[in-house]
Every structure is written in C-alpha cells, then in structure tokens.
C-alpha cells in the first residue's frame, strides 16, 4: 500500500526559528542598552570599592601584626631582646607602605583630603615613634623603650586601626548603596522584559510542539523500519541456516556416500591386482585421494552446519570445533568451561555456535594476534560466551559496524541475548554474549 508523502517540517521549523531569533535579538539589544550603566557602576564603583576594602584589610592585618609584636615585646621575660624585633617591624612597614599606596590609588573620590592627610600623618608619626623606641633599645634602655611602647606606640596603633575600621565601614556602606542601585536597575529591566520573554517563550513552545509532533512521526517511521529490518535480518539468517544445513547434508550424504563407495570399489579392485604391480599402487593412490577428499568434505560439512549440534549439543560441538580451528588457522586457543552445563534448544545452539565462529574468524583475519581465549560459562541464571584476543582490536577498527558483527548482534537478538564488544586492559577485543537461561534452555524430555 502506498503511503502519501509527508510534508517536510523544514518550513515550519525555519519560521519558528526566525521568530525566536528575532525575539532574542530584540532581547539582547534591550539588555545591552539597559545594562551598560550597570556594567559601568559595577566596574567603576563596586569592583574598585571591593579592591580598596581588600587593601584596607591588608593594612589592618599589618597593624594587628604590629600590635601582637608589641604585646610580646612588653614581656620582660621574653627570650629575645627588643632589637631582635627590628627586622620584623621593617618587613611589616614595607608591606604596609605598599598596601597604603595601592589603597590611595583605589580610593579615588571616595576619600576626602582630610582623611588622606590624617592617615598619612598618623602612619608617619607611628613609625617615627617606632624608630625612637628601637633607638632606646639599641642604647640598652629596655625599660624606657617598653614604656614608649605602652604610652605611645600602642595608642597610635589602636588609633590607626580605628581609622582603618571606619574606612572599611564607609566602604561597606558604599557597597550597600551600590547594591541598592543595582537592584533598582535589575527590577526595572525585569519589568520591561516580561513582554520580550513572553513572546520568546510562546515562539519556543509553539516551535517545540511542532518539532515534537514531527519527531514522533519520524521516530514512528524509524521504529517501523527498524522492526522491518530486524525481521528481514532474522529471515535472512534463518534462510542462511536452512541453506547451509541443506548443503551440509548434501555434502555429507550424497558426496560422502559416493566417495565412500568409490573408496570401497577401489579397495576391492586393488585387492584383485598382483602384489607390487604398478596398477595396484596407482589404484591405492587414487583410493587415498578419494579418502582425503571424503575427509575434507566431511570437515566442510561440519563447518557449514555441525551435525554434532543436533546429536551431542553445544558443549561437545565446541570440544570438536575449537581444536579444529586451532589446527586450521594456526591460532593458539585457550578454551575454558565453567559451571554446570545445561541443555540448549537446537536453534539457540546454532546461534551461539555461529557467534563463536564469527568471533574466531575476526580474530584470525583482522586482529593480528596469535592467540585467543574462549570461555563458556554456565551460570545459575544465564549462559555466557567470551572470545578475547590481544590484537589490534576489531571494535575500534570497525566501530562495531562490520557485516559479521551486525550478524552476531542479530543472532544475539534472535535468542534474546546481549552482545557486547569490549576492550580488555591489555588491548585487543573481547566479544561477550550473555543469554538468560530460561530463554535458551531445552526442556525436552
């Protein structure tokens, strides 16, 4: 039945995209105009004010360090003489001068001339008093130096700390005022942008609904195509197995019987010829060729569709198949079985066997490795098959899209299993097939 062609969703999507982009452009332009003043306020006032506060905190920290040092110096039982503190005071003074210089640059119009002069004058007076104190200590007048600390230095240090604290409070108040102005700008922008946001949201919702509807149609088609592809693949695999089974039986029954009869006739004919005659030797040679051909046909028949799968089951078939592959391909195969074996139905056995066959073919043809590990695990609730090699890795080379790998996945899906292509720690590829026991176990009596 012919299905009518569906109209392409491109036109509707482009129309929705144009509307959305137009709203976004208008939104962006309005935001840029309205927030330019906010950006200036933040960069010139708020950020500068915060940097200034950081320098004031640095100054305050230096003053606190001086205060702690002076407290320790007043301890007459201290282990160090007063002059030993000179180097520490010098380091603090250098850092304090740098911090005050940066703070003066950042303060800008936020400082009055009176505040600048007071801070500069107070700092200079403090260090003059420090120099006089160390001069007394250098002359051995520790008592007078400590008295200088108690009466002058500590008072000046506290005064400076108080002044810096007032400046920090002033900066905090400035930040609060700026925050209120910024909040006002944001509120104004928010009120003005409701219309733009509403139009944008409506356009997005309409476009999204149209896209969802279109996607549902597309995914429904894809699901139908995927189901049809899976059915076709399963039919092809079923036809392939049926064909291989027929060819295998024809080779085994027809050609096998003919070659067996030829070998028997040649044997009887050779027995009737004289011992040591040339003809008898040639007849024997032809008989050996017939026997070799018969063995090759039987091996080919088993490779196409092992009769052992139907007669002895999967485990016995793998016991025969893996050594055969090892001889024919030159690979060193390490075969491990674990768990208590349970019988598999005929169809599942064929698919597991084919997955192993394709995995070993990939190892031989593509991996470049010389050995592989085959593990057959009978678990309590599942059957697991692993084929691992340490070659160059077919998973990364083909991205799991080779024809053989697709067939392996289809076979796994047919029997309700999961096929994974992993990369072992040592490199290479590990093919893992896991099937629930209840899906493959044979319950035939």
Indicate the domain borders of the chain. 10-212, 308-440
pLDDT at 22 over 50: yes
Q: What is the largest CA-CA distance in the chain?
A: 142
pLDDT at 327: 86
Check: CB of residue 161 under 8 Å from CB of residue 64. yes
**What is the H or E stretch that residue 32 is in?**
helix 10-41
pLDDT at 432: 92
In angstroms, the CA 196 to CA 188 distance is: 14
Q: How far is CA 418 from the centre of its chain?
A: 22
Quick one: fold of 308-440?
A: Heat Shock Protein 90 (3.30.565)
In DSSP terms, which residues pair with 378 in a beta bridge?
339, 383
- Residue 152, classified by CB atoms within 10 Å of its CB into exposed (0-12), middle (13-18) or buried (19+), is middle
Q: What is the mean pLDDT of the chain?
A: 79
Q: How far is CA 106 from the centre of its chain?
A: 46
pLDDT at 445: 43
* 313 φ/ψ sector (left φ>0, alpha ψ -120 to 50, else beta): left
Task: Give the best-scoring range by mean pLDDT among 34-48, 100-114, 238-252, 425-439.
Answer: 425-439
pLDDT at 201 over 80: no
Comparison of pLDDT for 397 and 250, the residue scoring more: 250
pLDDT at 1 over 70: no
Span 97-126, mean pLDDT? 81
Of 364, 390, 388, which is closest to residue 375 (Cα–Cα)? Answer: 388
Of 354, 345, 346, 364, which is closest to residue 318 (Cα–Cα)? Answer: 354
Span 85-91, mean pLDDT? 87
- Rounding to the nearest 10 degrees, give the CA dihedral for residues 115, 117, 121, 123: 50
Please state, as a whole number, how many other Cβ atoms lie within 10 Å of the Cβ of residue 210. 15
Q: How far is CA 263 from the centre of its chain?
A: 64
**What is the H or E stretch that residue 418 is in?**
strand 417-422
pLDDT at 303: 65
pLDDT at 237: 67
CA 301, 304, 309, 315 torsion: positive or negative?
positive
Task: Give the best-scoring range by mean pLDDT among 6-10, 26-30, 87-91, 238-242.
Answer: 87-91
- What is the Cα Rg of the chain in Å? 46
CA 72, 73, 76, 81 torsion: positive or negative?
positive
pLDDT at 375 over 90: yes
**Band of the pLDDT at 188, cuts 50, 70, 90?**
confident
């Amino acid at each position: 039945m012919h299905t009518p062609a569906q109209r392409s969703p491109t036109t509707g999507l482009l129309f929705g995209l144009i509307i959305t982009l137009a709203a976004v452009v208008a939104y962006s332009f309005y935001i840029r105009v309205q927030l330019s003043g906010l950006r200036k306020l933040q960069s010139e006032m708020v950020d500068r004010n915060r940097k200034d506060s950081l320098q004031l905190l640095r100054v305050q920290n230096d003053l606190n360090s001086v205060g702690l040092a002076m407290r320790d110096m007043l301890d007459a039982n201290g282990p160090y003489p007063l002059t030993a503190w000179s180097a520490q005071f010098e380091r603090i003074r250098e850092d304090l001068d740098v911090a005050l210089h940066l703070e003066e640059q950042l303060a800008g119009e936020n400082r009055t001339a009176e505040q600048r002069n007071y801070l500069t004058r107070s700092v200079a007076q403090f260090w003059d008093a420090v120099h006089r104190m160390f001069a007394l200590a250098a002359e051995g007048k520790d008592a007078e130096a400590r008295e200088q600390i108690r009466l002058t230095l500590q008072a000046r240090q506290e005064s400076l700390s108080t002044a810096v604290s007032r400046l920090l409070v002033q900066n905090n108040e400035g930040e609060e005022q700026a925050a209120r102005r910024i909040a006002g700008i944001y509120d104004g922008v928010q009120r003005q942008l409701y219309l733009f946001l509403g139009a944008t949201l409506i356009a997005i919702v309409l476009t999204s609904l149209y896209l969802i509807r279109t996607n549902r149609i597309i995914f429904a088609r894809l699901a139908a195509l995927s189901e049809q592809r899976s059915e076709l693949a399963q039919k092809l695999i079923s036809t392939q197995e049926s064909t291989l089974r027929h060819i295998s039986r024809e080779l085994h029954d027809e050609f096998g019987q003919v070659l067996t009869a030829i070998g028997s006739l040649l044997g009887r004919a050779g027995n009737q010829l004289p011992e040591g005659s040339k003809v008898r030797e040639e007849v024997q040679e032809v008989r050996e060729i017939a026997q070799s051909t018969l063995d090759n046909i039987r091996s080919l028949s088993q490779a196409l569709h092992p009769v052992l799968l139907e007669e002895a089951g999967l485990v016995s078939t793998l016991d025969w198949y893996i050594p055969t592959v090892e001889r024919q391909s030159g690979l060193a195969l390490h075969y491990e079985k674990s768990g208590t074996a349970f019988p598999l139905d005929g169809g599942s056995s064929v698919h597991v066997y084919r997955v192993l066959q394709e995995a070993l073919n990939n190892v031989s043809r593509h991996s470049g490795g010389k050995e592989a590990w085959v593990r057959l695990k009978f678990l309590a609730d599942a059957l697991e098959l692993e084929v691992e090699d340490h070659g160059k890795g077919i998973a990364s080379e083909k991205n799991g899209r080779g024809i053989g790998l697709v067939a392996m996945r289809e076979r796994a899906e047919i029997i309700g299993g999961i096929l994974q292509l992993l990369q072992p720690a040592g490199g290479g590829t590990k093919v893992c097939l896991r099937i629930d026991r209840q899906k493959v176990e044979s319950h035939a009596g």
